[in-house]
Amino acid sequence: MTSSTPLMVLGTSSGAGKSLMTAALCRVLRRRGETPLPFKGQNMSNNAWVDQAGGEMAYSQALQAWAAGLEPQCAMNPVLLKPQGDSTSEVIHLGRAVGSCRAEHYYRDWFRPGWAAIRAGLTQLQASHPGGRLVLEGAGSPVEVNLQPRDLTNLRLAQYLRARCILVADIERGGVFAQLVGTLALLRPVERPLIRGLLINRFRGRRELFEEGRHWLETNTGIPVLGVMPWLDELFPPEDSLDLLERRGRKRGAELEIAVLKLPSLSNFSDLDPLEAEPSVQLRWLAPGEELGQPDAVVVPGSKQTLRDLEALQRSGLGEALRGYAMGGGHVFGICGGLQLLGQELADPDGLEGNAGTAAAGVGLLPLRTTFGQAKALRQRRSAAQWPVADGAPVELEGFELHRGHTTALEPGCQPLCSDANLGWVHPIGAQGGLVAGTYLHGVFESGPWRRRWLNQLRRRKGLPLLSERQPHHSRQREALLDRLADAFEQHVNLEPLLDPR
């Protein structure tokens, strides 16, 4: 086996931990002096990233690129499906939207174009990093028997590249032996030799208690168990919304509670990772229909379907509760789709989010009008923060735009959030100190100094001591988390059977 032989991480099911295990593998190979090239042929996610060329890709592949020490590029995820509701998804090929499709027609209409995009992505990625080793991530289960003939991103890709595969199973879910043995039993004879190792993930307790299970698996499958990864208490960036929904723990010492609206078409929830990682902040995810209460602030995150989420807010009464909260002195912050629905007017002349000519009144907390248009804004941005104002050096914000819709202020008194006046707005509201702000900049909370300035506004209101603004960019903390993940992987997983050249 040459150093460039591809490796692939498969899972017995969705949520088995493939994304983080792939990130760990990338970091470990990088430590060994290799150039790992993360690649997921097809991903379904509304948690997206925009690369330097303005291409759209899944956030999980961006995370894996950082683990590999590389700049994310959309060739690492050439097919991205973004669910829009009603069994329909937007189809992204090599970073660009190429259409939409209903689930029942996807393989009929998009299988061949998708496979072509995957091969083109492989060519682009390998051309940009000669000598690198592909580290592939599968999707869901590789043995969905009704989908195997139309598989785009699991064993078809493994066979095409002659990859060596690791099969990951989540022991926390229970039934780990059935997961592994059942998956292996459903493989076709030509596929079985591709599986070179098994990996048990999320094990609680003393690993020696699983030694009998390890021996049984190796004896009955003939495949080595490469390792048993423990349950990791570190807070890692989420792989998908399932991980997000499982975050229910309370933090000791949390001094601020920030409610985050869990919109039906929630997108880009990784924007909240830097707040989640603040020791003094407790996030409370709030779905339409649940009581708003009196949090210290409310964040309205991105939305894949702004008008549908706006309707859900208004229908549930949460929109009215938000208005009352802000008028009573509360602080509200919207990101992208959250910014749009906090405005006064939303117009959809081309029917991009529903019927052509649709117009709707927003929540009405920002004097903004948004008109949805065909062109999608996809670009990385840098802009100097003009709010919140604080002593000290100016703060530069960086992130990316990913939205349809052009927004304009309806009142001249609407203060710009940063030096680019079209990237965000701030608006005092009510007589009791209410404040509503929003931005199109995904990643706005990643700036440590700016995030702390924003949090210190809330802390002043509660009479709490202010936090230091001397805080690094969140990418530094993400790097440390990836290193700790790789440390655990190296401690608990033996890669030699996978990397053995024989």
Q: What is the pTM of this model?
A: 0.94
pLDDT of residue 1: 43
Same domain, 225 and 348: no
CA quadruple 116, 7, 230, 232: dihedral positive or negative?
Answer: negative
Q: What is the CATH number for 209?
A: 3.40.50.300
For residue 138, being part of any structural domain is answered with yes
Same domain, 272 and 211: no
Residue numbers annotated as active site: 336, 442
Same domain, 230 and 262: no
For 261-330, give the DSSP string.
E--TTEE-GGGGHHHHT-TTEEEEEE-TTS-----SEEEE-EESSHHHHHHHHHHHTHHHHHHHHHHTT-
Q: What is the CATH number for 387?
A: 3.40.50.880
For residue 483, being part of any structural domain is answered with no
pLDDT of residue 243: 44
pLDDT of residue 236: 53
Q: Which domain holds residue 291?
A: 249-478
Find the length of the chain.
502
For residue 127, being part of any structural domain is answered with yes
How many other C-beta atoms lie within 10 A of the C-beta of residue 168?
27
> Per residue in 179-224, pLDDT tens?
999 999 999 999 999 999 999 999 988 888 899 999 999 999 999 9
Check: CB of residue 447 under 8 Å from CB of residue 397.
Answer: yes
Q: What one-letter code names the amino acid at 38?
A: P
For residue 105, being part of any structural domain is answered with yes
Same domain, 135 and 281: no
Between CA 178 and CA 169 the distance in angstroms is: 10
Check: CB of residue 203 under 8 Å from CB of residue 171.
Answer: yes
For residue 492, being part of any structural domain is answered with no
Check: CB of residue 198 under 8 Å from CB of residue 167.
Answer: yes
Tell me the C-alpha to C-alpha distance, in Å, between residue 2 and each of 6, 27, 32, 34, 121. 9, 19, 15, 12, 22
Phi-psi region of 174 (alpha: psi -120 to 50; beta: other; left: phi over 0): left
For residue 23, being part of any structural domain is answered with yes
Same domain, 58 and 168: yes
pLDDT of residue 495: 96
Between CA 80 and CA 315 the distance in angstroms is: 31
For residue 458, being part of any structural domain is answered with yes
Same domain, 209 and 264: no
In tens digits, what is the pLDDT along the chain, a chain of 502 residues? 445 899 999 999 998 999 999 999 999 999 999 999 999 999 999 999 999 999 999 999 999 999 999 999 999 999 999 998 888 999 999 999 999 999 999 989 999 999 999 999 999 999 999 999 999 999 999 999 888 888 899 999 999 999 999 999 999 989 999 999 999 999 999 999 999 999 999 998 888 889 999 999 999 999 999 999 998 765 455 444 334 334 445 677 899 999 999 999 999 999 999 999 899 999 999 999 999 999 999 999 999 999 999 999 999 999 999 999 999 999 999 999 999 999 999 999 988 877 667 889 999 999 999 999 878 999 999 999 999 987 667 899 999 999 999 999 998 778 999 999 999 999 999 999 999 999 999 999 999 999 999 999 999 999 999 999 999 999 999 999 899 999 999 999 999 999 987 7
pLDDT of residue 149: 81
Same domain, 257 and 181: no
Same domain, 216 and 256: no
For residue 164, give both structure tokens.
Answer: 């060596």
pLDDT of residue 351: 82
Q: What one-letter code names the amino acid at 271?
A: D
Same domain, 262 and 343: yes
- Split into its structural domains, the chain has a count of 2
Same domain, 24 and 110: yes
Determine how β-strand 256-261 pairs with β-strand 415-416: unpaired
Q: What one-letter code names the amino acid at 239?
A: E
Same domain, 197 and 85: yes
For residue 486, being part of any structural domain is answered with no
Determine the Cα angle at 483 with ends 481 and 484, to 5°: 65
Fill in the DSSP letter of residue 231.
P
Between CA 391 and CA 405 the distance in angstroms is: 35
Same domain, 202 and 325: no
